[in-house]
Chain A
Amino acid sequence: MLALLRIAKLVVFISSSLFVISLLPTHSVHSQDASPSGSNLGPITVRAHDTDNDAGGSVTVEWDDPGYEKMSGFAGFLIWRTNTLTGTSDSVEVTPFGTHSYDDRSVSDDSTYSYLVAALVNSERVMSAPSMQVRSAKQWFDSRLTWVLILGLIICGAVIYFIESAKRGTKLFLRRIAGLEAIDEAVGRATEMGRPILFVAGIQDMDDVQTIAGLTILGSIARTVAEYDTKINMPVRASLVMTAARETIKHAYVTAGRPDAYNDDMVHYVTDEQFGFVAAVDGIMVRERPAACFFLGAFFAESLIMAETGNSIGAIQVAGTAMPAQLPFFVAACDYTLIGEELFAASAYLSGEPRQLGSLKGADVGKAIAMIVILVGVIATTIASAWNSESMLWIENLLRKMFSTG
């Protein structure tokens, strides 16, 4: 049985090889005949295959140039396509100098195609043999992202593992973040002074994770505010944020047992315009003189205008953002600043919920991996370049491959 199968395979192989061989010479002769006088360059070989990692509708054509590009009068390669189901042919594209592959995105997944590539030299066409038949297809997985998937699963797995173990009651150590105590202190001072607090959750919409982190912090601040019966004023720049912030504060008031003290106007929309919003916030600051200002979310250039105005009225200011460009201004003008990741961590800290804290531990695993990878990579490179170590070179290349995203 097995022997039969082998024989069958051999027959197929030989006959197909013969078929290909029978085709080849005629075409190469043809192409040499057609080539411009004085040159005896070999044929252009063409391969066509389904474009990898895409949503279908695209075929990649690749070819080798035996040297036509170097000839004077070379004008480009013409790509010629035949739809083998309908038999229609058309030219697809003329590629410029130096290009040896082309993604034909005008194909249909329901047809099969065959491609020819012709070198255009002095208004002559030097044709290649036709490529094998090819059909484009959709892929279910982008194989370039394999390492992203693996590393992502490790980190997400770590986050979920620590969330679960925190849920089961495992004590997790996390160092304290300077600035978090300041939040309660600031609310307390506003209460003492009988002045309102001002909360700005950044100027981005709900499609920014920083805004959501800011709202979570708002949740715990609002609980304290509700208990102390302090006034809170929250101007917002996007209507969706307004709705979400109202939900957040309302929930805090309900939890604190004072649903009657809640009022929708605590959160009010001003304008979607960045600087119009700033003008309004500045106005609120100098007129209402809040005792504490919170700037937690995604900020842009307005960060310093608000923080300096807040500084000039002598408010306690706590800021936090993951916009690297704005951090310096908050650091310079505010009393406490949550730097980058600390903004995301703060919401978990303040909730005090073990599951939230567990997720921070998971992110730390990611940082540990990052540090180890960087250090291993550096040591491997050093050894590889100093002693020509093969195994170190292998590690170096593996790391490069793992983390290359392009």
Chain B
Amino acid sequence: MKKFLPWIILVALIIVVALLPKPLEISPTVSVIVTVLLGLALTGVLVMTMRGHLIGRRTVFLFIGASLTLPFFMNFQMPIKVAPEVQELYDAIAKLPPGSKVLAAFDYDPPSAPELQPQAEAFMAYAFKHDLKVIIMGLWPQGPQQADMAIQKVLQQPAIRAKNIKYGVDYVNLGFQSGNEFVIQRMGSSFRGMFPRDIYNTDCDKIPILNGVDNFSNIDFVFNLSSGYPGTVEWVQIAVDRYGVKLGAGNTAVQAPSVYPYLSSHKLTGLAGGMSGAWQFEQATGEPGVASTYVLPQTFSHMVVIGFIIIGNVALFVGYRKSRQEGV
């Protein structure tokens, strides 16, 4: 019987999902009830742990799954506050006059897209609305594809469609170039040397936006979306250190702490880190997008993880007292 239990649960789940109304939305009252139930279940775990029954990994996994799934259907509003480094990034971009040339380096791939894609979309939407000319490139093979996906999405916004954005005039996608930091290095002397043609094999000399763009001195701002190597660290080390460009970055939350030193040494002008950076950036630019819908599940999952840490420590503390009492 026990052997078939997972399969029975699976089949039951499929039936439940098939019967659910689509799309599913829970009223605020039910949302509160679900939240309370989740809290009660956590309290149950606490009691069990205090009695000395450590729960297994799978139970932890189940809680995480539930805390990330259920809030998708809920109706709550959360206030959002913009952190100073995100504000710095926004201010730097907002200061650019219309027509400024911005180099957007997309150095990430699909696995990091949940965090960085919202930033990419908010940035592209802002750039198009404020007439910034965007030059896209990637040090990661899949980066330019991610850029294209972001652009296709924001071009559907009515306000941007009305602007009649043109490829080659308002933005260009230079594609991927292999060679990691050496690419940045070579771009320092000549963009054409590294990117003679754009992603569609058009000669760069025939692309209006690239007129007069030959090295970093013709670029007003570099925006780097990065999830590892090569990424923001390399851009700082070469583009900022050697060629003195102004660089702002959007990073995955994991990468962000390692670039904080550059932020305080002012080599980096602004940073949006992780999903919270993404929704703060959306908030700052006034382009609420997909990140804003993640605020709730993200907060829930945080609460659950923090709940587990508290449970672990309460258990440790109680166990410590107990062992002392027994020792005396």
Contact = CB atoms under 8 A, between A and B. Distances in A.
B310 interface: no
Contacts of B242: 406
A300 interface: yes
Interface string B59-83: 0000000000000000000000000
A229 to B, nearest CB: 34
B287 interface: no
A93 B212 CA distance: 8
B258 A325 contact: yes
B240 A300 contact: no
Nearest to B252: A301
B212 to A, nearest CB: 7
B168 interface: no
Nearest to A308: B57
Interface string B251-287: 0001101100000000100000000000000000000
A400 B182 CA distance: 28
Contact of A325 (B212, B215, B255): B255
B241 A406 contact: yes
A55 B189 CA distance: 10
A144 B251 CA distance: 31
A103 B214 CA distance: 11
B254 A406 contact: no
A105 B258 contact: no
A406 B228 CA distance: 23
B226 to A, nearest CB: 12
Given A301-B254, A325-B257, A406-B241, A105 B111 contact: no
Contacts of B244: 406
A275 interface: yes
Contacts of A406: 240-242, 244, 267
Contacts of B57: 312
Nearest to A324: B258
A192 to B, nearest CB: 27
A300 B228 contact: yes
B228 A105 contact: no
Interface string B172-200: 00000000000000000110000000000
A300 B229 CA distance: 9
Interface residues of B, number: 19
Contacts of B152: none
Interface residues of A, number: 13
A105 B215 contact: yes
A22 interface: no
Interface in B96-149: 111
B316 to A, nearest CB: 15
Interface string A332-343: 000000000000
B217 interface: yes
A123 interface: no
A100 to B, nearest CB: 13
A365 B241 CA distance: 26
A325 B254 contact: yes
Q: Which of B254, B258, B267 is most buried by chain A, counting CB atoms within 10 A of its CB?
A: B254
B50 to A, nearest CB: 23
Interface string A82-102: 000000000001000000001
Nearest to B111: A275
Nearest to A207: B180
Contacts of B240: 406
A325 B217 CA distance: 32
A405 interface: yes
B189 A105 contact: yes
Contacts of B190: 105
Q: Which of A93, A103, A105, A325 is most buried by chain B, counting CB atoms within 10 A of its CB?
A: A325
B79 to A, nearest CB: 30
A339 to B, nearest CB: 14
A126 to B, nearest CB: 22
A161 B215 CA distance: 43
Contacts of A105: 189-190, 214-215
Nearest to A101: B217
Contacts of B215: 105
Contacts of B228: 300-301
Q: Which of A55, A102, A105 is most buried by chain B, counting CB atoms within 10 A of its CB?
A: A105
Contacts of A93: 212
Interface in A273-290: 275
A193 to B, nearest CB: 23
Given A275-B111, A301-B228, A406-B244, 18 more contacts: A93-B212, A102-B217, A103-B217, A105-B190, A105-B214, A105-B215, A300-B228, A300-B229, A301-B254, A324-B257, A324-B258, A325-B255, A325-B258, A405-B241, A406-B240, A406-B241, A406-B242, A406-B267
15 contacts: A55-B189, A93-B212, A105-B189, A105-B214, A105-B215, A300-B228, A300-B229, A312-B57, A324-B258, A325-B255, A325-B257, A405-B241, A406-B241, A406-B244, A406-B267
Interface of B: 57, 111, 189-190, 212, 214-215, 217, 228-229, 240-242, 244, 254-255, 257-258, 267
List of 5 A-B pairs having minimum Cβ-Cβ separation, nearest first? A406-B241, A325-B258, A324-B258, A325-B254, A300-B228
